[in-house]
């Protein structure tokens, strides 16, 4: 329910993201009085070839580290264990999560992060792991993920096994809903949760001209917005509902 008062009272926000989750951000923004429409521009689907991720999941305990850079990766890893008919994951002793949302997904899956960087992005995750002796790393990611974590960890001496744990597929119906809201000028702010959400929204609209002021979750999303020609009004310091509400 939308609060009647708050710092965002009367503001209509479109929250664009990829995959599951996002309800906690909606709650945080609505607590500040905003009217929020959550649109998942891309849905998460299993990889075309399941064997790499299911094989790695079956021997997860053999790695020194599990490194996860998104909550979607955690959920995909749990699903991969089920694909492989191994219903219990045995994680390694060391688990690194890129941020609090990923850590919450780990907790929901019965795993606990031993490392969460203060600043929640792949660059800072790599920097935090440089404090540890290099070892073997399992890195499940999306098919469209960049190589920041893999490259940085490899350069730091870690032996990285990166696999595609899930695919991101454009949801045409949700994209059409976002376009309808923007074309009708029913949105005051767009909160963008990932670079892929930025690209999908701009590609769907054909240009960035009609997209209103953007609030970005993280510096990489902000960079993608600027490269696409969007006007960035604010960048959330952390991928948390409280930080996004404060930035908006």
129-165 confidence digits (pLDDT tens): 999 999 999 999 999 999 999 999 999 999 999 999 9
pLDDT given at position 82: 80
pLDDT given at position 3: 47
Q: Which residues contact 95 (CB under 8 A, 6 or more apart)?
A: 65, 66, 67, 68, 106, 111, 112, 113, 114, 115
pLDDT given at position 20: 72
What whole-number distance in Å separates Cα of residue 169 and Cα of residue 72? 13
Residue 23 pLDDT grade (very low, low, confident, very high; cuts 50, 70, 90): confident
Over the chain, what is the mean pLDDT? 88
Evaluate whether 151 touches 81 at the Cβ level (below 8 Å). Answer: no
Report whether pLDDT(63) > 90: yes
Please give the sequence-ordered ranges of beta strands (E in DSSP) within the chain, or none if there are none. 12-18, 35-45, 65-68, 94-97, 136-142, 159-170, 189-192, 213-217, 232-236
Tokens of 161: 């096994």
Mean pLDDT value of segment 22-30: 85
Closest CA to 99 of 245, 241, 238: 238
What whole-number distance in Å separates Cα of residue 139 and Cα of residue 157? 15
Report whether pLDDT(65) > 60: yes
Mean pLDDT value of segment 214-222: 87
Report whether pLDDT(1) > 50: no
pLDDT given at position 95: 97
20 or 76: whose pLDDT is higher? 76
Beta bridge partners of 214: 190, 232
Residue 211 pLDDT grade (very low, low, confident, very high; cuts 50, 70, 90): confident
């Amino acid at each position: 329910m939308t609060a009647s008062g708050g710092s965002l009272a009367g503001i209509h926000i479109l929250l664009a993201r990829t995959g599951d989750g996002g309800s906690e951000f909606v709650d945080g923004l609505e607590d500040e009085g905003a009217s929020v429409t959550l649109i998942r521009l891309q849905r998460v689907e299993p990889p075309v070839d399941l064997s790499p991720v299911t094989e790695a999941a079956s021997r997860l305990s053999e790695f020194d580290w599990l490194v996860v850079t998104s909550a979607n990766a955690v959920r995909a890893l749990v699903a991969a264990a089920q694909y492989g008919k191994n219903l219990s994951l045995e994680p390694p002793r060391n688990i690194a999560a890129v941020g609090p949302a990923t850590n919450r997904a780990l907790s929901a899956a019965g795993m606990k992060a031993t490392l969460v960087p203060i600043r929640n992005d792949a660059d800072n995750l790599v920097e935090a792991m440089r404090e540890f002796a290099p070892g073997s790393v399992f890195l499940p990611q999306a098919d469209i993920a960049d190589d920041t974590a893999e490259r940085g960890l490899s350069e730091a001496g870690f032996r990285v096994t990166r696999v595609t744990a899930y695919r991101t597929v454009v949801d045409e119906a949700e994209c059409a809903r976002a376009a309808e809201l923007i074309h009708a000028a029913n949105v005051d702010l767009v909160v963008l949760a990932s670079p892929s959400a930025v690209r999908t929204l701009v590609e769907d609209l054909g240009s960035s001209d009609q997209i209103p002021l953007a609030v970005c979750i993280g510096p990489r999303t902000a960079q993608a917005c600027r490269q696409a020609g969007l006007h960035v009004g604010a960048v959330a310091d952390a991928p948390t509902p409280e930080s996004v509400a404060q930035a908006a």
